[in-house]
């Protein structure tokens, strides 16, 4: 097995350990982080700012704006890390469901996360029944999240 493949496999095992360890976990997936986008117009607003963080971020994001333009014919950047961070700082921005998560660690679906929604309680006992619950983000208050990111960058 190549080193890169081994590292990816270990990442999936590590994620599975985190999701099943019983600690408080709020999982914020790409389906939620794709709800918060920095538009070309937002970029222009940041460019007009004299704040060093805004300028620095714009330089970093230039490659992402170009990638998304070339790959998807759009001028936006998804704010993955800021959205996850905002969920930790202000969980009221997030709606979530509670359930058990497992990560596929091998095969064609390697890396796929599976959610057993504990709000749907079934009488039968399954291998999911004794798994600890995590909170899984479903939606984010997009306008507020973007407003907070922009304010922080322009302060």
Could you tell me which residues are beta bridge partners of residue 27? 136
Q: Is residue 113 part of a domain?
A: yes
Is 152 or 140 the better-scoring residue by pLDDT?
A: 140
The CB density around residue 74, as the number of other CB atoms within 10 Å, is 13
Q: Is residue 51 part of a domain?
A: no
Instruction: Name residue, tokens 């599975």.
Output: 16
Q: Is residue 101 part of a domain?
A: yes
* 8 A C-beta contact, residue 136 and residue 24: no
Catalytic residue numbers read: 80
Domain hosting 25: range is: 3-36+79-154
The CB density around residue 132, as the number of other CB atoms within 10 Å, is 13
DSSP helix/strand/coil, 139: strand
The CB density around residue 106, as the number of other CB atoms within 10 Å, is 10
* 8 A C-beta contact, residue 35 and residue 139: yes
Q: Is the pTM of this model over 0.85?
A: no
CA distance 13 to 105: 6
Look at the chain and report how many structural domains it folds into: 1
Q: Is residue 131 part of a domain?
A: yes
Q: Is residue 53 part of a domain?
A: no
DSSP helix/strand/coil, 130: coil
Q: Does the pLDDT of residue 1 top 60, yes or no?
A: no
Per-residue pLDDT tens for 15-68? 888 888 999 999 999 999 999 999 989 988 888 888 888 888 888 888 988 998
Closest residue by Cα to residue 22 from 134, 127, 129, 103: 134
pLDDT of residue 123: 66
Q: Is residue 8 part of a domain?
A: yes
Alpha-helix runs per DSSP H in 2-141: 3-20, 30-33, 40-47, 52-72, 80-89
Which residues have CB under 8 Å from 143's CB, separation 6+? none
């Amino acid at each position: 097995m190549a080193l890169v493949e081994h590292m990816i496999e270990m990442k999936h095992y590590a994620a599975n350990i985190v999701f099943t360890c019983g600690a408080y976990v709020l999982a914020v997936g790409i389906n939620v982080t794709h709800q918060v986008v920095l538009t070309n117009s937002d970029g222009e607003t940041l460019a007009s700012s004299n704040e060093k963080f805004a300028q620095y971020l714009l330089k970093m994001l230039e490659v992402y704006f170009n990638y998304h333009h070339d790959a998807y014919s759009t001028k936006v950047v998804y704010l993955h890390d800021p959205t996850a961070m905002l969920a930790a700082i202000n969980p009221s921005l997030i709606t979530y469901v509670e359930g058990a998560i497992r990560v596929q660690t091998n095969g064609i679906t390697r890396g796929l996360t599976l959610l057993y929604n504990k709000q749907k309680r079934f009488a039968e006992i399954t291998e999911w029944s004794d798994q600890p619950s995590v909170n899984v983000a479903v939606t984010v208050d997009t306008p507020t999240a973007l407003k907070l990111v922009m304010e922080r960058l322009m302060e």
